[in-house]
Structure 1
Amino acid sequence: MLASKTTAMEIKSYQNQAEALLKEYVLADSFIPYASIIGGLVACKMVYDLTQLISAVHFKSFSSLSKVQRNEWNNRSISTFHAIFITVMSLYFVFWSDLYSDELLAGFVTFRSSSLSTFSLGVSVGYFLADLGMICWFYPSLGGMEYVVHHLLSIAAVAYAMLTGEGQLYTYMVLISETTTPGINLRWYLDVAGMKRSGAYVMNGVVIFFAWLVARILLFIYLFYHIYLHYDQVKQMHNIGLFLVVVVPSVLAVMNLMWFAKIIKGLKKTLTKRQ
C-alpha cells in the first residue's frame, strides 16, 4: 500500500514538472512559433504551386518530364526558397546581429532569443515538416533514408530551439549549411535540362565543392570550437537541449563528410571527362 502511494506521488511529481515545463516554454508567447510554422507550411505550398504554374508556361521541357521528375522539380524550388531565406537570416544572426555577441552582457549566449529569431526558426520548421511529408509520400524518389534522418534531426533541433529559446545560436550556425542547397538543386536542373556536359554544369560543381567545404565542413569545426569555448554556458542548458546541441551537429557533421566525399568523387569524374 505504501509502495503504491509512493509511486502515485512520484507520477504526480513528474506530471507537475511536465506541466511547469509546458507552461514555461511551449505555451509562452505561443503565437509567434505556431504562426510561423503555419506560415512556413503555407509558403511551401504557394511556392510549389507557383513553380508548377510558371514552369508549365515558360519551360518547354517541363511538360516532357515524367511525373516523378515534375514532383522533384517543384520540390526543389521549395528547398531553394527555404535555403535562401534561412541562409540570410542565419548569417545575420550569427555574424551581424548583436543578439548572440559575447560583448553583449545579457546573460548566457545559450539562452538568448528574440521574436525575429524565433519566427525565422518556425518558418524553417514548417519547411522541414512539408519537405519530410513529401519525401515520405513519394519515397524513395525524393530521397532515401538519409534524408529522412536528416530532416527528423533538423525538426527536433530547430523546434526545440524555437520553443525554448535554448541554443538558438548553434541552431543558426548549423542552418547556414543550407547555403549549399541552391547549388545542389541547380545541378539537378542542369542535368534534367540535358546540360550535363556544359561549362555551367562544371562551374556549378566547383561552386558546390567550395560552398560545401566552407558551410558544412569548416563552419562545423568553428561551431564545435565555439561550444568548447562556451561550454560553461552550454552545460547550463536542460539535458534535452544539451543533447541536441552536441549530438545533432555531430551526426550531421558525419553525414556532411560522407556527402562531401561523393561531391569530390563526382567533381573528379566531371573534370576528367572534360579533359
Structure 2
Amino acid sequence: MDPFSQLILAISVTSFLGFQWLFHRASPWVSTHISPGFLVLSDKQKVEWNSRTVSTLHALLVGLFCLYILFFDDAVNKDPAWGDPTLVKINVAITTGYLISDLLLIFYYWKAIGDKFFVLHHLAALYAYYYVLGQGTLPYFANFRLLAEFSTPCVNQRWFLEVLGYPRSSRPNMVNGVAMAGIFFLVRIAVMPVYYGRMCTIYGTEAFYRVPWGGRASWIGSSICLDLMNVMWMHKIARGCYRVLQGGRQSAAPGALQHHQHHPPPQENGKVD
C-alpha cells in the first residue's frame, strides 16, 4: 500500500473514531449544558438527538471542504472524470468514516434510530466511494454530490425544535423552515443543470469508458434515483413550508398569541400535538 493510500485509510479510521466519540461523549455533555430540554428527553430521543448532532457536524465539515474543492481545485474541475482526486479522496475518506460509524450506531440502537432506507443509502454511498478511494474515478461528481450535505443541519434543526416542544407556528420553526426550503432547493435542485451538464460533456468519451462498468452504473443510476427523490422531497418541503408560514400568520391574529405562548411538552415520538 502506497503512503497516500495509508493516509486515506488513517483518515477514515480517525473519522470513524472521532464521530463515535462525538456521539457517546461530546454531544451528551455539550447538550446537557446548553439545552435544559435535553435532560427530560426519553432514552430513545437522546439517542436520536446525539445522532443528529453528529450528523450536523459532519455535514458542515464535509460541506465546507466540498465548497473549497469546487472553487479552488482546478485539476478536478478541468477533468471531472480523472482529475487529481487528492483533496476529494480526503473529503470522501472523512465521509466514509462517518457512514461506517453511523451504520454501527443504527444497528446497535435499531429500536431508536433504525431505518432500512438509511442502511441502503449508506451502503450505496460506500459502494460508490469505493471507486473514488480505490481508483480515483469521477472525483468532480463525487465531490459535487456532497454539496447536498448543506441541507442536513436545517433538517436536523427541525427535529430538535419539534422534540423540544416548539409549535410549528413559532418564529424559530418558521425561520428554520424557510431556510431549509431555500437551502434544499439551492444544493439539491438548482444545481442539477450544472451536474448533468458536466455529465453530458464526458458521456461517451474515452475518459468515460476508462471508468469501470460498475463505477459508471453506480454513478448514473444513483444520480438519477437520488434526484428523483430530491424532487419529491422538495415538493413536500415546499408544501410544509407553506403550511408553517400560513400557521404563523394565523397565530398572529388576536387570541392566537396566548394559545401559542407556552410550548407543549415533548412527546415520546419526538412530535408535538
Query: Shorter-chain-normalised TM-score: which range?
Result: 0.7 to 0.9
CA contact (8 A) 2:85 2:139 kept: no
Q: Residues 209, 244 of structure 1: CA spacing in aligned structure 2 closer, same or farther, 3 A cutoff?
A: same
SS of the residue corresponding to residue 134 of structure 2 reads helix
CA contact (8 A) 2:88 2:143 kept: no
Q: Residues 251, 239 of structure 1: CA spacing in aligned structure 2 closer, same or farther, 3 A cutoff?
A: same
The total of aligned residue pairs comes to 244
Partner of 2:21: 46
Partner of 2:32: 56
State whether structure 2 residue 134 is matched by structure 1 residue 163: yes
For 1:203-238, what per-residue CA distance to the aligned partner results, in whole angstroms no more than 9, with x for missing partners?
Answer: 111111111111111223321111001222323311
Shift of 1:51: 0.9
CA contact (8 A) 1:111 1:166 kept: yes
For 1:165-194, what per-residue CA distance to the aligned partner results, in whole angstroms no more than 9, with x for missing partners?
Answer: 101110011111000011111111111222
> Percent of aligned pairs with the same residue?
25
Distance 2:9 2:172 in 1: 41
Q: Which amino acid aligns with 2:100?
A: L
Shift of 1:265: 2.5
Distance 2:68 2:90 in 1: 14
Shift of 1:195: 2.0
Distance 2:36 2:115 in 1: 29
Partner of 2:49: 73
SS of the residue corresponding to residue 63 of structure 1 reads helix
Q: Which amino acid aligns with 1:272?
A: Q
Shift of 1:114: 4.1
Moved over 6 A (4+): none
Partner of 1:31: 6
Q: Which amino acid aligns with 1:41?
A: F
Corresponding residue to 1:139 among 103, 107, 110: 110
Partner of 1:122: 93
Corresponding residue to 2:240 among 266, 272, 275: 266
Segments of structure 1 that go 5 or more residues without pairing to the other structure are 1-26, 103-107
Segments of structure 2 that go 5 or more residues without pairing to the other structure are 250-273
CA contact (8 A) 2:77 2:140 kept: no
For 1:69-111, what per-residue CA distance to the aligned partner results, in whole angstroms no more than 9, with x for missing partners?
Answer: 1011111111111101111111111222212232xxxxx5312
Partner of 1:89: 65
